[in-house]
Structure 1
């Protein structure tokens, strides 16, 4: 935190504009060294950038953002340069020659913002998810966390716990008297109501499911048309299509967005009971594992032969006499039924994934929220004020861990390593 760091914070060049960010105690000195002048805070200004020898590097718009009221909470400067590779290389080279400056590590700007109290851990996790969001559903879920929605919810819960704790402390002040009553029904009701609210959040689909996408496995016997349909659904030739049985030997995965919803489609080996081919047997075993893992199975085999709740598919709608009485008739060749199939999958996925704008908890957040809910459950049954107060302290500690007020360095290293350099 004593170093001053710098990095390209915009997209990789070439581009129209390249934003180079400098953050740390020497940011102001670095800006003066590059421009030979000082700047009014938070006002854009045009300046000529020069290296240590006085050679012109670029003409750029510069911003001087003194801390703590900025993104990182420490003195920050931004250079909005022309976005050519040579320009970026020249400016960063000039910065590297200044004493006390070094290139930023992945996620280091955001980590400094966290360390300086500019955002909490839940907001940082949301920002990380926002950077990797590829669908509208992922973006909207990440925005709620990055914008502090979940943090405000935790704050509201913590306020309720603090009020309950204050009543416990008040009761303990009179604990030397013989007639101190046990917690009344209204107190227990409030504890139980808060526990119920946390349970409602824990019942929501997990954030990992939203990140990975709704998993759809295509299954059936050899030569059932799985790979052809797989290619049609993802709209590219990812799987080899052949009339030879057993062509697909391994699992093929492809992520894709349909209707703003993330999916992972999985093409599997043809299923049959008997085979002397060792490699094909391995492929069949892997296919069985994928069927167990999938959120939805598209069954292209014999009617009723697929897993329960599988979507029955008749894949040869374009061929006379090849259709089935039941199931959805599609043709990857003509496109018949493909739109209807996608609509069915989108509807199923929307039921299984977090709703638009609904915050989804990741594994870390879920662990701490479970700890808080369980402590509230125990508190609701306590008659002893001292034991009840201890359980409420456990709840408050879980909320602190949710927001990163009690976090380990290893966990923080893992989180911020997800970020790109310059963020």
Structure 2
């Protein structure tokens, strides 16, 4: 990331040309000068204005489009910002970008530089920025909902509340140390500090005990198809993904290795895993495939246990969330199709019978229907920071006979660990990694 903070940056922020409309974004102290040069004035802030854009030196008309101006600090980056909405042809975009590049102090923005300036100017913290990155990358409805909540400050509000409470607790302790002889400082001034720290620790522990739900929503749940050979696992996968992702033959043992496909099920990112058929075999390769199938099912978010004869003996790993799926119901007579047996769902990959019901059941089994908390951990970086802060508070609770100065230092360390999560404390080493996720123009 460039250190040239005084430059005015610009970039194409919309999709690749050609397009109906192209949005070119500008940010920095030279935005007003650039607008005066290209359109002859600085428009009224936050009001779309139709203007003619002209080349700086020749006054040649480049295009006619909408111009918006946002005066800093009340803008996305905290600086003066402008957006030029021009026609999305390649030649138009190239001519406007060339005109901007010719202005003194102007340069093309680097990836994520607009968002980084927003962070550096206090317009967003790191959790909000990570939410914004997730929003740009969201491919499913649940990912979008989770990203919106985080980008709007769901995590920031919670973590900053904890940090402020720990800082206040430390202030009470230091008041007791520094002003113990003052008449207006009560003798029990430190007592609320310990109860405040204990309360924050309990809230942190509950926050961490979320079964990694946020990370699963962001990265995708894992659903494993498990069952004996020819139970219809590969056929069902192909039917769900609507393409020939797995080879289907009548020969047992066709699938020997894990086959993974990513798809959207009930508005959620899911990795669907086809596995080797479970059976006794002399084949070394097939036995390894079966072992991998059982291991993967043991760690999956959901197991679809398939059977074409209503028997699921030893198919479902102990303790695993599962749905028993009766397959190939197109081969049954009408009376048999109405008998549910022990199956949760009855489907036919060939005719599509029951597939919609199966998709809904998968969504419900993945707990998609529960209200999504406002604050939900989405990245390992966040989880590690909260766990580290909680560790200091747990050490504080254990050290009942330690010097008060040591306890104050543990509170400081806990607050600083929270500060690193939001970007308040010592995060320079993280910034390049975080902002590398963004595209040019964002």
Q: Is the shorter-chain TM-score for this pair beyond 0.5, marking a shared fold? A: yes
Structure-2-length-normalised TM-score = 0.85
8 Å CA contact 2:167, 2:412 repeated in 1: no
Pair 1:132 & 2:141 matched:
no
Partner residue of 2:306 out of 300, 304, 313: 300
- Per-residue Cα deviation, 1:305-329 (whole angstroms, up to 9, x for no partner): 2122343322121213999953343
Partner residue of 2:48 out of 25, 32, 44: 44
Residue 41 to residue 370, structure 1, CA distance change in 2 (3 Å): same
Structure-1-length-normalised TM-score = 0.89
Secondary structure of 1:228's match? helix
Residue 251 to residue 354, structure 1, CA distance change in 2 (3 Å): farther
Secondary structure of 1:350's match? coil
- Provide the C-alpha distance between the structure 2 equivalents of 1:71 and 1:97, rounded to a whole number of angstroms: 25
Residues 218-257 of structure 1 correspond to what in structure 2 (within 5 A)? 218-257=225-264
- Provide the C-alpha distance between the structure 2 equivalents of 1:213 and 1:39, rounded to a whole number of angstroms: 45
Pair 1:119 & 2:124 matched:
yes
Secondary structure of 2:222's match? strand
Partner residue of 1:333 out of 327, 345, 350: 350
Residues 48-67 of structure 1 correspond to what in structure 2 (within 5 A)? 48-51=52-55, 52-67=57-72
8 Å CA contact 1:214, 1:264 repeated in 2: yes
Residue 314 to residue 25, structure 1, CA distance change in 2 (3 Å): same
Question: What is the deviation of 1:121?
Answer: 0.8
- Provide the C-alpha distance between the structure 2 equivalents of 1:354 and 1:414, rounded to a whole number of angstroms: 33
- Provide the C-alpha distance between the structure 2 equivalents of 1:189 and 1:25, rounded to a whole number of angstroms: 48
Partner residue of 1:314 out of 302, 326, 345: 326
Residue 202 of structure 1 aligns with which residue? 208
Partner residue of 1:7 out of 7, 11, 17: 11
- Provide the C-alpha distance between the structure 2 equivalents of 1:369 and 1:259, rounded to a whole number of angstroms: 31
Question: What is the deviation of 1:203?
Answer: 0.8
Q: Number of residues paired by the alignment? A: 419
Pair 1:74 & 2:86 matched:
no
Q: Structure 1 regions of 5+ residues with no counterpart?
A: none
Secondary structure of 2:254's match? coil
- Provide the C-alpha distance between the structure 1 equivalents of 2:206 and 2:269, rounded to a whole number of angstroms: 24
Question: What is the deviation of 1:393?
Answer: 0.8
Partner residue of 2:383 out of 350, 357, 366: 366
8 Å CA contact 1:183, 1:385 repeated in 2: no
Residue 217 of structure 1 aligns with which residue? 224
Tell me which moved more, 312-321 or 130-139. Answer: 312-321
- Provide the C-alpha distance between the structure 1 equivalents of 2:358 and 2:35, rounded to a whole number of angstroms: 58
Question: What is the deviation of 1:371?
Answer: 1.8
- Provide the C-alpha distance between the structure 2 equivalents of 1:244 and 1:192, rounded to a whole number of angstroms: 62
Question: What is the deviation of 1:231?
Answer: 2.0
Tell me which moved more, 111-120 or 237-246. Answer: 237-246
Question: What is the deviation of 1:347?
Answer: 1.6
- Provide the C-alpha distance between the structure 2 equivalents of 1:223 and 1:3, rounded to a whole number of angstroms: 64
Partner residue of 2:270 out of 257, 263, 267: 263
8 Å CA contact 1:17, 1:80 repeated in 2: yes
- Provide the C-alpha distance between the structure 1 equivalents of 2:354 and 2:22, rounded to a whole number of angstroms: 47
Question: What is the deviation of 1:276?
Answer: 4.0
8 Å CA contact 1:8, 1:19 repeated in 2: yes
Secondary structure of 1:142's match? helix
- Provide the C-alpha distance between the structure 2 equivalents of 1:175 and 1:184, rounded to a whole number of angstroms: 11
TM-align CA RMSD: 2.8
Secondary structure of 1:421's match? coil
- Per-residue Cα deviation, 1:37-95 (whole angstroms, up to 9, x for no partner): 44343333222112243322110111232322211122222101122333222222322
- Provide the C-alpha distance between the structure 1 equivalents of 2:193 and 2:123, rounded to a whole number of angstroms: 35
Secondary structure of 1:300's match? strand
- Provide the C-alpha distance between the structure 2 equivalents of 1:226 and 1:295, rounded to a whole number of angstroms: 17
- Provide the C-alpha distance between the structure 1 equivalents of 2:342 and 2:220, rounded to a whole number of angstroms: 28
- Provide the C-alpha distance between the structure 2 equivalents of 1:15 and 1:62, rounded to a whole number of angstroms: 18
- Per-residue Cα deviation, 1:134-181 (whole angstroms, up to 9, x for no partner): 22222222222211122122222223223322221121025589xx97
Q: Structure 2 regions of 5+ residues with no counterpart?
A: none
Residues 87-166 of structure 1 correspond to what in structure 2 (within 5 A)? 87-166=92-171
